[in-house]
Amino acid sequence: MFGRRDFARLALGAGGMALATGVQAQGNWPDRPLRWVVGYAPGGASDVFARLMARQMTPALGQSIVVENRPSGGAIVATETVIRSPADGYSLLHVDNGVLVYNPALYSKLPFDPDKDLASVGFIGRFPMLLVVKQESPVQDFAALLAAAKAKTITYGTPAVASPHQLTMEVLKRRSGMDAIHVPYRGTPATLNGVLDGSVDCAILDASSALGAIKGGRIRALLVAGDRRAASLPEVPTAIELGYPNTVAYGWQGVCVAAGTPPAIVTRLNEMMRAAVASPEMSKHMQEMGVEAVPHSPAQMAEFVKAENALWRPLIQELGIRLDG
C-alpha cells in the first residue's frame, strides 16, 4: 500500500516530468512556422513593418513567419485571434496605440481585455507626430498659427477619429490654449490633400507619412510633439521647446503574444526583434521613413504601455469619443 510519502514522491515525480516536458517543448521551439497577425489591410504601415520584421527574423528562428492580415475596426478581430490561440509563441500580434491603449476607452464592450490577455514582447519603433501646414501658408511658425486661431476659427485634419494624430492635437490644444476644429479624413493621403488644397488650415501627420512631402517642399512642419527633436527633421522644434511642457505624443508599433506564453519564448522573440530592428535593412528603412527605434525589453514595454493607458484613456473619455455607438 502507498503511504503519504509514496504519494508525495509520485506527485513530485509527475511534476518533474511535466516540468521537463515543458522545458523540452520550449527548447524545441519553434519547430513549425509562426504567424504574425496584423489587424489592418495589406499595404499599410503596419503590414509593411510586419513583413520587413518577419523577413529579418526568419533566418534566426529557422522557421518562416507568415504575415496574416485580418483587417477590422480597431484591429479587434486580429487581437481576438491571437488571444484565443494557444499561448505557445506561434501566434504574434502586431500592436499599436489603438490595440493596446485606446480600444478599452473607445469600445464599451470588447471580447477580451488587452491589459490581462496579452503579454508584451517588444517594440518596433515610434513615429514622431508633426503639426504641418502647406508650404504656401502665410503661417511661418506655431506662434503665428496660435494668433490666427484667436482671430478666426481654424481647422485641423487627421487620418481618422481617435487616432494618435487627433489625440496629439487635443493635448497640444490643452497645453497651448489653441482652439481648432477637427476634420477627420479617411487615411493619410486624403489628409495630406486636405492640407494642400486648403480644405483645412493645418494637420497632424506622423513623420513616416509627412517626410516625403516635407522634403519635397509641399508642406512645412511647425513643431514635433516629441520628447526631443525628430532625428529625421532636426530643424523642427519640439512643442516643449516652444513653451508647452508635457506635450509628448507618438504613434508606435510593437508585438504581443497571448498571456501565459512561456517567458523563455517571450525573451527569445524580444532578442530577435531587437536584432531585426538593428539590422542594416531595417535601420535604413526606418531612417528613410523617420521612424525611431525603441529597443525595449518586454518588461519595459509593459511599463510604457501602462503609462500610456494612464495618459490617453482618461483623455478619450473626456472627449467623449466612442466607436461602438
Residue with cell 504613434: 251
Gap between the Cα atoms of 194 and 118, Å rounded: 37
Gap between the Cα atoms of 232 and 211, Å rounded: 8
Contact assessment for residue 94 and residue 169, using Cβ atoms and an 8 Å cutoff: no
Query: Going by C-beta distance under 8 Å and a sequence separation of 6 or more, which residues neighbour residue 209?
Result: 45, 159, 188, 192
Gap between the Cα atoms of 185 and 161, Å rounded: 8
- Position 324 scores a pLDDT of 84
Gap between the Cα atoms of 171 and 148, Å rounded: 19
Contact assessment for residue 126 and residue 251, using Cβ atoms and an 8 Å cutoff: yes
Contact assessment for residue 176 and residue 325, using Cβ atoms and an 8 Å cutoff: no
Same fold, 33-126+251-319 and 127-224: yes
- Position 26 scores a pLDDT of 58
Gap between the Cα atoms of 1 and 43, Å rounded: 68
The phi-psi region of residue 101 (left if phi > 0; otherwise alpha if psi is between -120 and 50; otherwise beta) is: alpha
Q: How far is CA 233 from each of CA 133, 241, 259, rounded to the nearest angstrom?
A: 15, 15, 38
Element (H or E) spanning 227, and its range? none
Element (H or E) spanning 174, and its range? helix 164-176
Report helix angle 298-319 to 263-277, nearest 10. 80
For the chain, the domains span 33-126+251-319, 127-224
| pLDDT, tens digit, 9 for 90 and up, residues 137-153 | 999 999 999 999 999 99
**What type of residue is 93?**
L
Per CATH, domain 33-126+251-319 is 3.40.50.300: no
Reduce the DSSP state of residue 194 to 3 states and report it: helix
* DSSP character at residue 39: S
> Per CATH, the architecture of 127-224 is what?
3-Layer(aba) Sandwich (3.40)
For the chain, the residue count is 325
Closest CA to 58 of 253, 266, 297, 272: 272
Closest CA to 225 of 251, 201, 202, 200: 251
- What is the reported pTM? 0.89
- Position 313 scores a pLDDT of 97
Can you list the residues of the chain whose pLDDT is less than 70? 1-26, 325
